[in-house]
């Protein structure tokens, strides 16, 4: 079972106010509610949390997202041509395929790509310790 953002906050000693708890809950449930391709930006997150508690300001959402990112709970993506988008930081690695027309994001793991990246690093005398792969495309008709 995947650890929720609330659980990650508690494990890291991040104080969860009622407003932070709502933001964390909405983020934790985003993929279940909106699908695997969901990586909300702050405006979308604000729209979702304000439906639960209209007193939560966009500034609170920005501050909370920044705190969660600094604590290693969320990861920020700066996909081309758009606002920063967020997802829960997960231990397992995955890459992204982004549809530049619709903004849909597909998460994937491909062993051939992983092996090739390691070979390239090795070829130049490096041991790969991390990487980020973003592919941009347009859906074929």
The pLDDT value given to residue 1: 47
10 and 45 belong to one structural domain = yes
- Domain of 38? 5-88
The pLDDT value given to residue 37: 56
Task: Give yes or no for residue 94 having a pLDDT over 80.
Answer: no
The pLDDT value given to residue 50: 95
Q: How many domains does the chain have?
A: 2
99 and 83 belong to one structural domain = no
CATH number of the domain at 22, please.
1.10.10.10
31 and 74 belong to one structural domain = yes
43 and 99 belong to one structural domain = no
127 versus 125: the higher-pLDDT residue is 125
CATH number of the domain at 117, please.
3.30.1490.190
Annotate the chain with three-state secondary structure: CCCCHHHHHHHHCCCCCHHHHHHHHHHHCHHHHHCCCCCCEHHHHHHHHHHHCCCCCHHHHHHHHHHHHHCCCEEEECCCCCCCEEEECCCCCCEEEEECCCCCEEEECCHHHHHHHHHHHHHCCCCCCCCCCEEEECCCC
């Amino acid at each position: 079972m995947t650890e929720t953002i609330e659980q990650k906050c508690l494990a890291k000693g991040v104080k969860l106010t009622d407003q932070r708890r709502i933001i964390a809950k909405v983020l934790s449930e985003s993929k279940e509610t909106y699908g695997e391709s969901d990586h909300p930006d702050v405006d979308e997150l604000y729209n979702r949390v304000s439906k639960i508690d209209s007193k939560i300001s966009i500034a609170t959402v920005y501050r909370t997202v920044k705190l969660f990112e600094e604590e290693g709970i969320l990861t920020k993506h700066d996909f081309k041509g758009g606002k920063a988008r967020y997802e829960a930081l997960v231990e397992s690695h995955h890459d992204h395929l982004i549809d530049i027309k619709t903004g849909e994001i597909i998460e994937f793991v491909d062993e051939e790509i992983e092996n090739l990246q390691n070979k390239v690093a090795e070829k130049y005398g490096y041991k790969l310790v991390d990487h980020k792969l973003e592919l941009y495309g347009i859906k074929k008709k």
